[in-house]
């Protein structure tokens, strides 16, 4: 409880980590606010069903609060939500405000009352989309900061955020956000594509960084590296060099 987990991917797609955490927290009985900016609800629901979880059922029983970013953008641009008198969480797109206060208010209200559910969880997929939509890096970092204070500190819940990164990229704003979030994370799961290129038996490697130095200044971060293969219903992890192709 009270942890901030950063999911980071480079030269690969780290969305399998998002699906894992979503199904994990729902099965654990947590109240989940899912800010889905990358894919539609039907996409996440299909993948979740393969993992044995129904997002539709979770929404009906009030366990899952789902923000479909793609639909919200269209509704805001065509004025459908304004006609209904409901302010959009992505209000910054209209140019009326440059900050993400409306999005934070959506998260805060969604997780304010967990009822009989266990601790609250905020899941964001993915933060880089906000930058692509025109949000300033400072506004994005402020949004995450307030979410950490609200969810992690006040409500003793967890925050899990996915962000894309490319060390050779010229997108300085995105790299600024990624580096800043790395300094404030309790746990970093960094999925990377293989430097040697495509392999059918090894889809990438994941670096698990436990930020011990965040809690105790004298401690060094604990780093573990595994390789993985994504299958239809699960992901297989193994030590580097121990894949089926080698053995």
Among 30-44, 70-84, 161-175, the range of highest mean pLDDT = 30-44
Residue 205: the pLDDT is 94
Residue 87 clears pLDDT 80, i.e. is over it: no
- CA gyration radius, the chain: 18
Domains of the chain: 3-238 (3.40.50.300)
Report how far residue 3's alpha carbon sits from residue 24's, in angstroms, rounded to the nearest whole number: 15
Cis peptide leading into 126, omega within 30 of 0?
A: yes
Which burial class, exposed, middle or buried, applies to 191 when counting CB atoms under 10 A from its CB (0-12, 13-18, 19+)? buried
Taking the model in full, what pTM does it have? Answer: 0.91
Mean pLDDT lowest for which of 26-35, 45-54, 128-137, 212-221?
212-221
The pLDDT tens digits of the residues spanning 108-141 come to 999 998 888 999 999 999 899 999 888 999 999 9
Contact 203, 12 (CB under 8 A): yes
- CB 175 within 8 Å of CB 168: no
The Cα–Cα gap between 20 and 48 comes to: 9
Q: How far is residue 120's CA from residue 110's CA, in Å, rounded to a whole number? A: 9
Residue 181: the pLDDT is 95
Helix axes 101-111, 137-147, angle to 10 degrees: 20
Q: Are 24 and 78 in contact (CB under 8 A)?
A: no
Encode pLDDT of 142-162 as tens digits. Answer: 999 999 999 999 999 999 999
């Amino acid at each position: 409880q009270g942890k901030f987990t950063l999911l980071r991917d480079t030269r690969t797609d780290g969305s399998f980590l998002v699906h894992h955490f979503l199904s994990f927290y729902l099965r654990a009985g947590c109240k989940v606010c899912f800010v889905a900016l990358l894919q539609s609800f039907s996409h996440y629901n299909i993948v979740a069903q393969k993992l044995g979880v129904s997002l539709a059922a979770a929404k009906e029983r009030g366990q899952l609060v789902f923000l479909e970013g793609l639909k919200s953008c269209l509704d805001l641009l065509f004025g459908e939500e304004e006609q209904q008198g409901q302010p959009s969480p992505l209000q910054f797109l209209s140019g009326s405000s440059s900050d993400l206060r409306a999005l934070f208010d959506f998260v805060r209200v969604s997780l304010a009352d967990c009822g009989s559910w266990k601790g609250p969880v905020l899941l964001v997929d993915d933060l880089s989309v906000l930058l692509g939509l025109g949000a300033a890096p400072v506004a994005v970092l402020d949004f995450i900061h307030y979410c950490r204070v609200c969810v992690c500190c006040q409500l003793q819940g967890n925050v899990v955020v996915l962000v894309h990164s490319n060390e050779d990229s010229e997108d300085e704003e995105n790299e600024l956000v990624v580096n800043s979030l790395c300094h404030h994370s309790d746990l970093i799961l960094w999925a990377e594509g293989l430097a040697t290129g495509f392999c059918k038996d090894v889809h990438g490697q994941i670096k698990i960084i436990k930020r011990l130095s965040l809690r105790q200044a004298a401690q060094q971060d604990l780093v573990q590296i595994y390789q993985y293969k994504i299958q239809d219903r699960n992901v297989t992890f193994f030590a580097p060099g121990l894949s089926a192709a080698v053995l």
